[in-house]
Structure 1
Amino acid sequence: MNQVLCRYSVIFIFVFLPSFSSIAALNIVFLNPGHPDENATGSFWSKVTTFMDAAAQDLNIKLTTVHANRDHIFMKSLATTIIKLDPDYVVLVNEKGIAVNIIKTLAPHNIPIFMLLNTLNNKDLSKLTEQQKSLIKGSVTPNNSIAGVQLLEGLFNIFHQQVTTTTPPKLLALQGDYTTPASLQREQGFHQALQKNKAQLIDSSVSNWSKEMAYYKTKGILWHAQINIIWAANDAMAFGAKKAVTDAKINYPVIIGGINWDFDEPEYPVDLSLGGHVTLGAMALVMINDIANNQLNQEKTVQQINIFESSLSPHYKGFKQLMTQGKINQIDFSRFSQTHKNPLTFSIENLIKAMH
């Protein structure tokens, strides 16, 4: 009799005890360097949060996002806000190289950190103590250098398809900023592709990711130089350049491209855009969830993903519909977790396949 009662007691415990995930939801704070909605630098960062919110629902994560509004001084002060929220993990972006200062502020509180999109280089790491470095549990970044290469080569291809001339095209490059790793790596890719193609670089300068700044910079250059190709480190700057070309009533083809897959500027469409990295915030949450549950091997806690695809890609149309029709919540992000019996590789194609 006692054995029977004992057996049923064990069954009762397993059936009625709440699951681990329901009583131990991860509390994660994302320090978003951008704005909560569209602005002069585009809508990229607000979309990053949208993907992360959708992933958090699938992974039973409590996600809180605080926005720095592209103000790196204000971003530093948000470390105090994060400490008060007492998170299990913080997702940081090394925007304008300020992650080191934030990590130093968080370190006395032993808050684990995960780096997203822009991580720390060796120079940054040399400024941290071993204890501070130990708090960095992982990172996920896109291959920005390859994106810089692919964008310029794609613009060259379009130019040569539209223009029959032996004269090398004249280029304008609009860079993001002077310190953010993504900007520097995209610029590196741009120069790598430039060395392999015949072209004349008229100007390459920073426009601070801004549509307005890119507009005035392009407008000024068009006053004294002919430009055939404009390479921009993000779509907002590409849209600004397109507006400047339109307003100048240029009577020859100017091929323009950017990076981000921003779909919010139908008035000034560009010829080419690379994107997909907007999804990596969701992958960051998948990886943090796996790390917290001891499901991710140490060598996989730092990942660089070749996520970028062209707007000429066969997957672009499906992804655009997913974004513009508000279907992001239909993606099952748990399919990319190592806890899934058949985890998917994180890619644009598989995100579309993972829709409910």
Structure 2
Amino acid sequence: MLSGLASAASVGKPATTQAPVSVVFLNPGYADEPFWLEYVAYMHDAANDLGMQLRVLNGERDPLKLLQHAREVLQAREQPTYLVFVNEHYVGPEILRLFADSKIKLFALHSTLTPDQQAIVGGSREKYRNWIGSLVPNDEEAGYLMAKALIAMAPASAGEMVAFSGVKQTPSATLREAGLYRALAEHPHVRLKQLLYGEWSEQRAYEQASVLLARYPEVSLVWAANDEMAFGVMRAAAEKGRQLHYSGLNNSKRVLQARIDQRISVLVSGHFILGGCAMVMLHDHAAGLDFAARGGKDQQADLFRLLSRQESIRLLRRIDKHAAKLDFRRFSAAFKPRLQGYDCSIEALLR
């Protein structure tokens, strides 16, 4: 399991010398989507630190386009060492089938195959031997942390909440919802009036909230599975003169500033460096240092955490100065032969 932060003091020379490792990342998001822009930036930082080659293909929130990119990678004359995919819209099994006879190694990032999917196609290193593993964040915990902190702002006697989840066919959304329901079960005095799927979109959430808030005049709490949807609800509430408490998730400059200004009451973040951590694991795997020996073939990174106002100020300053860069060699077993497990978090950016 990934947690904490490794010390930079013990970073040394790599354990082995290797040719550049090439990686293609099938990004499910839009090319200009703020979250994925930041996410990919850390993957590029890691690639530069580790001497790897990274190419990103954007799916534009279209599973058909994402699968077309996968086919192009498979048919290309020059093929990468690794293909990194996200199980957005549950496309994981189809990607595994496409690459079943390929020498390209597959790695699931951010969201992996669901238990139901794995019951049919198997887990990593089983039926599809070239699917070598996965790395995901603690999404259920993120949903729980947001809900718990938001519920604390409800009246002691009773409270009403509405919730905005992401894309329905996405493990990240499903897991964050599970965290929400776990928190609600612990606090039955708060009632969830309705959950909608805002599809991670500010405009979609705005349109939904414009109708929903009129339906529930007593609602005071808004749980949103990302920052864009929170801003959409906020815009609709402002038009109706409603004062509400919001949760949000991500690390955009906009949401960090909203947390600082206390327009967002609860903010969870930390997973934006997950792709960089995956690059470290693939770098080591290519060097003959299998990450499975350091935490297992399928790992969960405990990256999500609540950000206080002061922590949001510090993180925003780092990003504003374009100094929010980590030396990803510090996390690599190739540079730290005594490494027992992969430690990766945003603690260094908050100190």
> TM-score, normalising length from structure 1?
0.84
Q: CA deviation at 1:134?
A: 1.1
Provide the rounded CA distance (Å) in 1 between the counterparts of 2:331 and 2:316: 21
Tell whether the 8 Å contact from 1:34 to 1:46 is kept in structure 2 after alignment. Answer: no
- Mapped contact 2:100–2:128 kept (Cα < 8 A): no
Question: Is 1:107 paired with 2:137?
Answer: no
Match of 1:174 among 139, 147, 164: 164
Aligned residue identity for 2:113: L
Matching residue of 2:5: none
Please state how far the C-alpha of 1:223 moved relative to its aligned partner: 1.4
The residue aligned with 1:290 is 284
Do structure 1's residue 310 and structure 2's residue 284 form an aligned pair? no
8 Å contact 1:29–1:63 — kept in the other structure? Answer: yes
Q: Secondary structure at the match of 1:119?
A: coil
* Aligned counterpart for 1:28 among listed residues 23, 30, 50: 23
Q: What are the superposed Cα offsets for residues 134-188 of structure 1, whole Å, 9 maximum, x if unpaired?
A: 111121111111111100111122x25xxxx444111001111222111100000
- Counterpart of 1:261 (choices 251, 260, 274) is 251
Matched, 1:143 2:135: no
Q: Where do 1:133-212 residues align within 5 Å? A: 133-157=128-152, 159-160=153-154, 165-197=155-187, 198-212=189-203
TM-superposed CA distance for 1:131, in Å, is 6.8
Q: Larger relative CO (CA 8 A, sep 6+): 1 or 2?
A: 2
Kept in 2, the 8 Å contact 1:331–1:352? The answer is no
Cα RMSD for the two superposed structures = 2.2
How many pairs does the alignment contain?
321
1:218 and 1:339, CA in 2 relative to 1: closer, same or farther beyond 3 A? Answer: same
d(CA) in 1 for partners of 2:142 and 2:350? 21
Instruction: Specify the SS of the correspondent of 1:80.
Output: helix
Please tell me the residue identity of whatever aligns with 1:193.
A
TM-score (ref. length: structure 2): 0.85
Change (3 A) 1:297 1:257: closer
User: Contact 2:164–2:223 (CA<8 Å) still a contact in 1?
Assistant: yes
Which residue of structure 1 aligns with residue 331 of structure 2? 336
What's the counterpart of residue 219 of structure 1? 210
1:277 aligns with 271
Q: 1:209 & 1:338 partners in 2: Cα distance? A: 36
Q: AA paired with 2:199?
A: N
Corresponding residue for 1:321?
317
Residue type at the aligned position of 1:296 = D
Give the one of 60, 63, 69 matched to 1:69. Answer: 60
8 Å contact kept, 1:296–1:338: no
Cα deviation, residue 327, structure 1: 2.0
Deviations 1:13-59 (A, max 9, x none): xxxxxx933xx100110110011213xxxx11111110100100001
Q: Which structure's residues are more often helix, by fraction?
A: 1
Matched, 1:241 2:233: yes
Task: Please give the per-residue CA displacement for 1:284-338, whole angstroms capped at 9, x wherever unaligned.
Answer: 000011111122352423211110111217644333323233224x421100011
> SS in structure 2 opposite 1:118?
coil
Q: 5+ unaligned residues in a row in structure 2: which ranges?
A: 1-15
Quickly say closer, same or farther: Cα 1:302–1:316, change in 2 above 3 A. Answer: farther
1:124-139 residue pairs with structure 2 within 5 A?
124-128=117-121, 133-139=128-134
| 2: CA distance, partners of 1:212 / 1:48 | 22
Cα 1:122–1:166, aligned 2, differ >3 Å: closer, same or farther? closer
Distance 1:220 1:231 in 2: 16
Displacement of 1:103 in angstroms is: 1.7
